[in-house]
Structure 1
């Protein structure tokens, strides 16, 4: 059946996204993105323990982010050109192997430069399942869902995907902490390698990942030129997403320092989960917001909530005040992520949706890596009290990008 035939069928009878891709797709795609969320924290934990330096750990996690920044979008472009299946299968094997090699290198006598080089390789080959899943589902919606239901379906899909990301970015550090404390500091990366081979491979081989007219749009038109990826309306979303990533990195690292000062550093992941729970719930609720609460206004409004919550994080002095601050921040983070990805889907040039989604996913992990590295240096050098204000800086970047996005997307009268 050709794409045009599929769309004709979709217009004749209702077809649901769940019925099209099947429930197993969402289970596989969810587990397949867990290793991605474990990478930065797993590298930070292993190097800090194996080399006895939080500073080296921060540099290694930053190297992961730089690798993703350099090659993440290129992997997305390759997926648009050659199809997701081939690209995912190749990089899943390479990424799993590098994580195992990294564990061995950290405990060896090799210089720190080799450690950073392998960390860079881990980031360069990171299988970006989340953005590829978004691009894949948007394509399915365009092909199989009736036109009058596409907008609502895209919104609901972006809400689910963002809630899944939120859950995974909380679950990832938690799993790292459990494996590192129960087994050894190398266990999280070895576990991530096993998950990558098993579930990223399954995600690649799912029927929805079959190559169809690679290098063209879903209706057979040639893909837009590469220069369209660098328009201001896309770049401002990339900046906003990097701000959210920096918020994740600075929040987790400064919170770890805060809990360590209280003598309970192992519980940092549990406290961090307070933010993640509220964020995931609000992300799922975005599709139910009234249409008059436009995405332009939504980004600014929930970004402002992030700023307000970050002020309370900086002022927190005990567990109760920190829990309240994190709960408020979570209300802002989830809807902001959903809105950013929705703008990414709406503004993707023809035939470049995977590239755009991968650019956004890459900027998220880059922001997280750099945020964690900076917060680690600040906490070690200037103290926890100063580090706790870094999430406010990251939230400010998110808000500023939201204002710029609103200016670039003014409604035409």
Structure 2
């Protein structure tokens, strides 16, 4: 059956025991930002204040995540994760309390910042566990494992916002924030309890002399640039699609269009993970980014919401394979001692691109309409293609322990 590869992965010793809790926890992580918007707006009636608090959350999440990942790499997931989860639960409780007592905007922003600074990096930790589990003897299955991770992440960002919106519509915005924290902390604690699959701590003294653990290397910088580009794409598309359907008198079409694009991505990611390709990973990256560029250019002449939705099936189907390739190339490029940090830095780059693009796309849309936002997305995709072209040589060299014949080596 087509799903045999995924079943065999989850049957690996300890795999399901860490993957399922991490998947549950990332639903909570996916809920958190939107739940803060509903929580703050529900009590203050101000979207400006809600945006301020949510923005504070996003900034500290992006800045602190790699530092938390550094501690995880050095001391291990089972030692760092429990206190980090306790801090996150306390930060959410503080934020809810501040909102309840009608605290000032500055204090609310501080509460949002504390919440963002303590978000558990469950996706990076789960990916690092797959790498540790499969690196020896089963490295060829890493693309499939990272495809499973990508699917889990996509599903989390489909289900999480829906749960938040349902609770908010029922007049219980605080319940959405509390549920998000409960899922994040509960899933994280269950993940931390799985000690057997956790990557061993990589203290500096344990690394043999001559092995390069630096992240400031050309291949990593290329991957960070690609993640920044896809973040810009995400941020521009979120605003531009909304503006497009409003311009065409079909505001209700936004949700179906986003849903179709997301489902297309989940299906493409699932299918991508089922096959092992002989084509080098950097070449796959170039092809996928080129297809994304073509699809984004096709958005510019779209004349209806239906036409836009058809094109977004193509762009959505390209996203998940790209994310899988980013993960596999990262694992094959950086030293295992800094792998969680690398995943977190790439996530921060994507988040930074999304935040910057949302503002830039809004300016472009005000100036020339929705196509201005799509043009920004096209520029981001085109830049990714150029970066992928430059990375053909930089990303081709296999990491220590991988052979050129190994699919994970690219």
TM-score, scaled relative to structure 2: 0.82
The alpha-carbon deviation at position 67 of structure 1 amounts to 0.9
| 1:124–1:213 CA distance, 2 compared to 1 (3 A) | closer
One of 228, 238, 250 as aligned partner of 1:252: 238
* Bigger shift: residues 275-284 or 98-107: 98-107
| 1:358–1:408 CA distance, 2 compared to 1 (3 A) | same
* Bigger shift: residues 160-169 or 98-107: 98-107
Contact 2:213 2:338 in 1 (8 A): no
In the alignment, structure 1 residue 175 sits paired with structure 2 residue 160: no
* Residue of structure 2 in register with 1:299 after alignment: 285
* Residue of structure 1 in register with 2:401 after alignment: none
* Residue of structure 2 in register with 1:70 after alignment: 63
* Bigger shift: residues 391-400 or 268-277: 391-400
* Residue of structure 2 in register with 1:353 after alignment: 339
What are the superposed Cα offsets for residues 183-203 of structure 1, whole Å, 9 maximum, x if unpaired? 344443222111122111111
In the alignment, structure 1 residue 286 sits paired with structure 2 residue 279: no
* Residue of structure 2 in register with 1:94 after alignment: 87
Contact 1:128 1:361 in 2 (8 A): no
- The SS at the match of 1:230 is coil
The alpha-carbon deviation at position 327 of structure 1 amounts to 0.6
The alpha-carbon deviation at position 104 of structure 1 amounts to 4.3
Name the CA distance, whole Å, in 1 between partners of 2:244 and 2:41: 17
Contact 1:69 1:366 in 2 (8 A): yes
Name the CA distance, whole Å, in 1 between partners of 2:366 and 2:53: 16
Name the CA distance, whole Å, in 1 between partners of 2:154 and 2:133: 23
Within 5 Å, which residues of 2 pair with 1:5-44? 18-44=11-37
Contact 2:213 2:337 in 1 (8 A): no
The alpha-carbon deviation at position 71 of structure 1 amounts to 1.2
* Residue of structure 1 in register with 2:3 after alignment: none
In the alignment, structure 1 residue 395 sits paired with structure 2 residue 388: no
Name the CA distance, whole Å, in 2 between partners of 1:352 and 1:202: 23
One of 125, 134, 138 as aligned partner of 1:132: 125
One of 74, 77, 81 as aligned partner of 2:74: 81
In the alignment, structure 1 residue 364 sits paired with structure 2 residue 357: no
Contact 1:25 1:203 in 2 (8 A): yes
Within 5 Å, which residues of 2 pair with 1:230-269? 230-259=216-245, 268-269=254-255
The alpha-carbon deviation at position 244 of structure 1 amounts to 2.0
Name the CA distance, whole Å, in 1 between partners of 2:90 and 2:251: 31
TM-score, scaled relative to structure 1: 0.82
In the alignment, structure 1 residue 308 sits paired with structure 2 residue 301: no
The alpha-carbon deviation at position 140 of structure 1 amounts to 1.5
Contact 1:42 1:176 in 2 (8 A): yes
Contact 2:129 2:198 in 1 (8 A): no
Name the CA distance, whole Å, in 2 between partners of 1:167 and 1:333: 14
Name the CA distance, whole Å, in 1 between partners of 2:305 and 2:40: 28
What are the superposed Cα offsets for residues 109-159 of structure 1, whole Å, 9 maximum, x if unpaired? 4333333332222221111111111111111223xx53xxx2321121112
What are the superposed Cα offsets for residues 43-85 of structure 1, whole Å, 9 maximum, x if unpaired? 3444455555555544443333321232111111100111112
Q: Which structure 2 segments of 5+ residues have no match? A: 1-7, 399-403, 405-410
Q: Which structure 1 segments of 5+ residues have no match? A: 1-14
Contact 1:236 1:405 in 2 (8 A): yes
| 1:49–1:259 CA distance, 2 compared to 1 (3 A) | farther
- The SS at the match of 1:19 is coil
What are the superposed Cα offsets for residues 258-287 of structure 1, whole Å, 9 maximum, x if unpaired? 455667757644431211111122222334
Contact 1:179 1:188 in 2 (8 A): yes
Count of aligned residue pairs for this structure pair: 392
- The SS at the match of 2:313 is helix
Name the CA distance, whole Å, in 2 between partners of 1:268 and 1:21: 40
Name the CA distance, whole Å, in 1 between partners of 2:387 and 2:59: 21
- The SS at the match of 1:110 is coil
* Residue of structure 1 in register with 2:143 after alignment: 155
In the alignment, structure 1 residue 114 sits paired with structure 2 residue 102: no
Contact 1:215 1:222 in 2 (8 A): no
The alignment yields a C-alpha RMSD, in angstroms, of 3.3
Contact 1:223 1:352 in 2 (8 A): no
* Bigger shift: residues 341-350 or 118-127: 118-127
One of 186, 190, 194 as aligned partner of 1:198: 186
Contact 1:61 1:373 in 2 (8 A): no
